[in-house]
Amino acid sequence: MARIVSISLVLLYVAFFSWYTSFAGPLSQEEVDSFLAAAQERRPGEDLSLLRDFLEGDTGDDFVMINLIDSPEKPKPVPGIRPDETTAEVQARYMAHMWPQLAKRACHPVIMGAAAAPALDIWGIDGADVWTTAAGMRYRSRRDMIEIAGNPAFQGPHEFKIAAMTKTIAFPIDPWFHFGDLRLVLGLIFFAIGASVHLLARRSR
Instruction: Please report the domains of the chain, with CATH numbers, ordered by start residue.
Output: 62-174 (3.30.70.100)
CB count within 10 Å of CB 120 equals 7
Mean pLDDT of 76-91: 86
* Model confidence at 51: pLDDT above 90: yes
Q: How confident is the model over 101-147, as pLDDT tens digits?
A: 999 999 999 999 999 999 999 999 888 999 999 999 999 999 999 99
Q: Within 13 Å of residue 156, how many CA atoms lie on the same side as its CB? A: 7
* Model confidence at 156: pLDDT above 80: no
CA dihedral sign, ordered 21, 34, 95, 169? positive
How far apart, in whole angstroms, are the C-alpha atoms of residue 141 and residue 13? 20
Query: What percentage of the chain exceeds 70 in pLDDT?
Result: 98
Mean pLDDT of 36-58: 92
- How would DSSP label each residue in 117-184? SS-S---S-SS-S--SEEEEEEES-HHHHHHHHT-GGGTTTHHHHHHT-SEEEEEEE-S---TT-HHH
How many residues would you count in the chain? 205
pTM: 0.89
Question: Residue 127 — left, alpha, or beta (φ > 0 → left; ψ -120 to 50 → alpha)?
Answer: left
